[in-house]
Amino acid sequence: MKRNEEDVYYGDYLQLDKLLDAQHPVSGTAGRAAAHDEMLFVVVHQVYELWFKQILHELRSVVCLMARERIEERSLGTINARCARIRKIQKLLVDQIDVMETMTPLDFMDFRDYLVPASGFQSVQFKEIEILLGLKGEYRIDFDKACFYSRLTEGHREYLQGMESGPSLFELLDRWLGRMPFLDYEQYAFWDEYRGAVDAMLARDRGIITGNTGMTGGEREAELAELEKTRERFDTLLDEGRYEAARGRGEVRLSHRAMLAAVFIHLYRDEPILHGPFGLLMNALEIDELLTTWRARHAIMVQRMIGHKIGTGGSSGHGYLMRTTENNRVFLDLYNLPTFLIRRSDLPALPDEVKRGLGFYFGGGEGDV
């Protein structure tokens, strides 16, 4: 690689003159003394936006690779590596809250009123991340549906609304799982074998419950009722019509074929060809988990700073943030997937043809899906 013709100076390369001249606390304008802790508030949020920029850099590349008709194993490795980087950054974002919490509520009150009506609602990059992951308008809580765009400039609103029609990581993951060839073996009815293993597991669980002499009659009935709900969930998974009806009610988001593929990947994750796909499912889940963790920590911090006051952007503050913590999750289906797992010792034995297909390459050495 050819080096630059001219020497690169550290401050010029990083444009530190611009970066370090971008902190201008509003409490220090019009001859007023600046609130000391406003500098911390500005710096922490600017750092958030810089990390959001890096997350978007990684996430856009992942979406671009996932949008291909066929994803080579090498590309899957790249996708997983970039998702892992996103997770590392997210952990830093959570840890930054510790720094913010060195500011006391009274410190915050010294400058909070100057911020109205600005708020995190207006972080365009954070909204981009949500949309790219798969949190589009139809899946948001009611307050977000009404206010998601209303506090933005027209240009930002149009930009984000345009993104809503583009592919998200969730949608691309669903398509990718739906293309998995591991479900199509003419000579082997895997799901019939799986059904048998599930029935045996549920019968064993029922025997444990009915044979437990330490339970009261009411406790036993409650346990048996929960076991019946589990059976109904398995019945829904294995019946496409019932599954798609549940999907129509918003109980699941993944398509039926995608969910079956995800279950298969989890069950047989030890097979060489499934290491990468399992890693991608775990990356998607953990990115969602870390985003949820950040939301929860942020909500607690807000309560610590302002109690039950409304937010500067007009929301209910802590109450609103806690609702988004639980309800604005994207990959909830992956969290619930362990419902359908059975013990390794109970897994149906795969025929040699299938085992060969789950070696390092699937069929004909093509090695992509």
Domains in the chain: boundaries:
26-357
Highest mean predicted confidence (pLDDT) among 234-238, 310-314, 318-322: 234-238
Please say if the pLDDT value at position 361 is more than 70.
no
pLDDT on residue 90? 98
Tell me what the mean pLDDT of segment 15-32 comes to: 90
Contact 363, 357 (CB under 8 A): yes
Please say if the pLDDT value at position 82 is more than 60.
yes
Q: What is the largest CA-CA distance in the chain?
A: 84
Highest mean predicted confidence (pLDDT) among 113-117, 187-191, 335-339: 335-339
Distance, in Å, from the CA atom of 83 to the CA atom of 286, rounded to the nearest integer, reads: 9
Task: Give percent of the chain with pLDDT exceeding 70.
Answer: 91
pLDDT on residue 316? 52
**What's the pTM?**
0.89
Contact 143, 317 (CB under 8 A): no
Chain centre distance of CA 67: 18
Please say if the pLDDT value at position 42 is more than 70.
yes
Please say if the pLDDT value at position 182 is more than 90.
no
- Mean of the per-residue pLDDT values for the chain? 89
Domain 26-357 has CATH 1.20.58.480: yes
Contact 23, 110 (CB under 8 A): no
Q: Distances in Å between the alpha carbon of 254 and those of 83, 134, 246, 248, 337?
A: 20, 12, 11, 11, 11
Please say if the pLDDT value at position 30 is more than 90.
no
Contact 198, 267 (CB under 8 A): no
pLDDT digits (tens, 9 = 90+) for 61-79: 999 999 998 888 889 999 9
Task: Give percent of the chain with pLDDT exceeding 90.
Answer: 66
pLDDT on residue 188? 72
Please say if the pLDDT value at position 152 is more than 90.
no
pLDDT digits (tens, 9 = 90+) for 205-238: 999 999 998 889 899 999 999 999 999 999 999 9
Q: Residue 5 has what DSSP assignment?
A: S
pLDDT on residue 369? 63
pLDDT on residue 29? 79
Distance, in Å, from the CA atom of 79 to the CA atom of 102, rounded to the nearest integer, reads: 37
Please say if the pLDDT value at position 2 is more than 80.
no
- pLDDT tier at 186, thresholds 50, 70, 90: low
Distance, in Å, from the CA atom of 40 to the CA atom of 269, rounded to the nearest integer, reads: 45
Lowest mean pLDDT among 97-111, 176-190, 312-326: 312-326
pLDDT digits (tens, 9 = 90+) for 124-145: 999 999 999 999 988 776 666 6
pLDDT on residue 318? 74
Distance, in Å, from the CA atom of 285 to the CA atom of 73, rounded to the nearest integer, reads: 20
